[in-house]
Amino acid sequence: MSIKLVAIDLDGTLLNDHHEINQPVVDCIKAARKAGIYVVLSTGRPLSGTKAQLDVLGLNNNDDYIITYNGALVLNTKTWDIVAEHSLTRENYLEIDHLARLLDVHLHIADKKAMYTANRDISPYTILESYLVNMPLFYRTPEEIAEDVLAVKMMMIDDPEILSEAFKKIPAEYFEKYTIVRSTPFFLEVLNSNSSKGLALKELSEHLGIQQSEVMAIGDAENDLSMIDFAGTGIAMGNASEAVKAAADYTVATNLEDGVKEAFDRWVIK
């Protein structure tokens, strides 16, 4: 059966190490979209953090969609109409803030418009994330955040070694209550339990009337596993983790070697 929808991770997959898209990849995506195939970015970033990539790829029309916040928010890239949304409660924020303090790691959260942290010594990784996703960053007390902000995503952020040790200490019940994924060595993301790239891809496919067997997903990291598992054709980048390669149906070249183009050439536009 032919592929009608391709979901593509951003960092480490679509983007090279300079946070750019190689021109051969741009060309093949535009060709697929012209042929009527849906191409959907699937990322931990908010919509504001993908504007440059959407513009380059021409994925900003009335019939274009994006999966953001690792599946917590699925929306139209032109109208911002929401297809699916799975936010967190204020009680969730206070619980995770307390856990982060017990683990001695930094935490920031994001709603649809901005990022917030209650850490006076703001983590450089939080500043980096604010820059990458083009969102303003504010310091607020935990009480102010709980009162004023409805989080879409929360992120524990710290040096990889610190975060790895903290991850081991998270009680099992938190993994039952939330979706917790390591998107980079220095980001540990905490989401609504109904949020994942895989669930979001399922919701979007159903919205568009596309069968699971007609979906391809391409990724490289732990937070891509659920969409690779869901897709009829799951693709791991050559630079992907071993867990992603094991879960995927096929492995292609790295993000530096136009692995996304290889996937399109082999299975999308033949």
Return the exposure string of 164-183: e unless at least 16 CB atoms fall within 10 Å of the residue's CB, then b: eebeeebeeeeeeebbbbbb
**Does 151 lie in the same domain as 167?**
yes
Query: What was the pLDDT predicted at 29?
Result: 97
Q: Residue 72 sits in a domain of what CATH number?
A: 3.40.50.1000
Which domain-ending residue is among 129, 163, 192? 192
**Does 146 lie in the same domain as 227?**
no
Query: What was the pLDDT predicted at 42?
Result: 97
Concerning whether 9 is annotated as a catalytic residue, the answer is: yes
Domain that holds residue 42: 5-85+195-268
Which domain-ending residue is among 168, 192, 216? 192
**Does 233 lie in the same domain as 108?**
no
**Does 177 lie in the same domain as 94?**
yes
Q: Residue 98 sits in a domain of what CATH number?
A: 3.30.1240.10
**pTM (two decimals):** 0.89
Q: What tens digit of pLDDT does each residue of 94-113 get?
A: 999 999 999 999 999 999 99
> Which stretches of the chain score pLDDT less than 50?
none
**Torsion, CA 41, CA 36, CA 58, CA 8, rounded to 10:** 20
Query: What was the pLDDT predicted at 92?
Result: 97
**Does 80 lie in the same domain as 199?**
yes
Which domain-ending residue is among 163, 192, 221? 192
Query: What was the pLDDT predicted at 109?
Result: 96
Annotated active-site residue in 9, 11, 64, 111: 9
130 token code pair: 């604010």
Query: What was the pLDDT predicted at 40?
Result: 98
Number of domains in the chain: 2
